[in-house]
């Protein structure tokens, strides 16, 4: 895998758009992604919807010309720092390339892009059972979020609308 490279995604490029959708669908079908394929609506509309949002960016990792990983990011805003932050929304590495440094290379590129955008921090969510992902994030310097230790660590909640 000496030919690994990471490229920022052009959502309007039909080839890269298809690669993004295929990689995300593979993740969605995996137990770590919920075990269900992307909807036809998501498959048909995701690249255009991401392109319409200047706060979104993605990177794809390639082994030669084969797409093997994806990270989708959405820029938010830290009111305490009064600067942008970047939420790492999806991290995908296809099964054949897990453990080969693909995730690290993609997140290093995300860090570079985030610096260019003036972001103060990266955020992400990870399932507690995904030990290999947690180990990678910790190696890169991610840590659980807390302000006052007496108040505990932040928890991630959702409400579907």
Q: pLDDT (tens digit, 9 = 90+) per residue, 138-161?
A: 999 999 888 888 998 888 888 789
How do residues 87-116 score in pLDDT, each as one tens digit?
Answer: 999 999 999 999 999 999 999 999 999 999
Number of domain units in the chain: 1
The answer to whether residue 43 is domain-embedded is yes
Q: Which helix (H) or strand (E) segment is 86 a member of?
A: strand 83-93
Round to whole Å and give the CA distance between 152 and 161.
28
Assessment of whether the complete model's pTM goes beyond 0.85: yes
Residue 89's contacts (CB-CB under 8 Å, 6 or more residues apart) are: 72, 73, 74, 124
The answer to whether residue 135 is domain-embedded is yes
The answer to whether residue 146 is domain-embedded is no
Contact between 24 and 35 under an 8 Å Cβ cutoff? The reply is no
The answer to whether residue 15 is domain-embedded is yes
The answer to whether residue 73 is domain-embedded is yes
What tokens does 79 get?
Answer: 């009111």
């Amino acid at each position: 895998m000496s030919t690994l490279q990471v490229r920022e995604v052009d959502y309007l490029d039909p080839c890269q758009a298809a690669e993004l959708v295929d990689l995300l669908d593979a993740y969605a079908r995996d137990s770590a992604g919920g075990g269900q394929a992307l909807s036809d609506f998501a498959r048909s509309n995701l690249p255009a919807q991401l392109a319409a949002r200047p706060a979104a960016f993605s990177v794809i990792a390639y082994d030669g010309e084969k797409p093997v990983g994806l990270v989708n990011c959405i820029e938010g805003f830290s009111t305490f720092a009064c600067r942008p932050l970047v939420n790492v929304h999806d991290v995908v590495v296809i099964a054949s390339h897990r453990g080969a440094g693909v995730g690290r290379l993609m997140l290093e590129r995300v860090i570079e892009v985030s610096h260019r955008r003036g972001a103060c921090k990266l955020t992400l969510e990870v399932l507690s059972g995904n030990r290999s992902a947690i180990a990678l994030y910790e190696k890169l310097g991610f840590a659980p979020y807390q302000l006052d230790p007496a108040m505990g660590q932040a928890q991630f909640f959702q409400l579907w609308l």
